[in-house]
Structures are given as structure tokens and as C-alpha cells.
Amino acid sequence: MKQETIVKSEPIKWEHEVGKWMGAFMILTGAIFLMGTAGITIAGHSPSMLLALFPIYWIGASAYWRYKEDGRLTRRVFSIAVFAVLPLAYIAAMVLGYSISGLWPLGIIVAGVSFILFGRSK
């Protein structure tokens, strides 16, 4: 017959911190939806556009972590950062009332600059 061993394990601190962030994220998301259903607007737009800031934050944090890992600005870090900055510029232009149709060429320009600056780096 097999004998089982019971091991007491302590809760991992990382899991506890993730729970706090997830709770804060859910509260903030609920508050944004509540503002939208209450008819509150931000510069004439629905507050639900603020939900786009969550992935922008995580993409920007990912670029920062890659920068710390690589130790310098590489094409990989730059390309991840572009995917955080361009949507942020799109939201800012929308809130400020500027035409957002002119922003897509900015993405092409930034991509071209990245190829020139980081042509041979990995």
C-alpha cells in the first residue's frame, strides 16, 4: 500500500499580490461601467474608452521589463513600446477632439525610424 505524505505549504506572496491587483482592476472596471450607465461623460465621450488604458498599461510595462532585461533600447523593446504609445495617442486625440485619421501615418513613420535605428540589432 502507498503511503501519502501531507506537506503544509505557506501561501505564496506573489499570488496574494495578484489577487489585490485583480480586485483593484475589477473595482475600477465596475466604476467605469457604472459611470457609463449613469450618463457621465468625459469630454463628451463615454467613460468606457478608459478601458483601453488597461492593455496600454500592460503593454508599456512589458516594454519596460524587456528594457530592463536587455539592458538597452533594442528593436524588440521599441516595437513593444510603439504598441503602447500609438493607442494612447489615439485616445488622447479622441478626448481632445482632434482628427484621428491622421495618426496611422505616424505608425508607419515610427516603424521606419525603428528599422533605421535598429537595423542590425537583435
**Domain residue spans of the chain:** 13-117
Q: Is 2 exposed, middle or buried (0-12, 13-18, 19+ CB in 10 A)?
A: exposed
| pLDDT at 106 (0 to 100) | 76
pTM passes above 0.85: no
Q: Is 27 exposed, middle or buried (0-12, 13-18, 19+ CB in 10 A)?
A: exposed
Residue 18: the pLDDT is 64
Position 2 scores a pLDDT of: 65
pLDDT at 88: 83
Q: Is 12 helix (H, G, I), strand (E, B) or coil?
A: coil
What does the pLDDT read at residue 25?
81
10-residue mean pLDDT series, the chain (122 residues)? 62 60 82 86 78 83 88 83 82 78 76 73 51
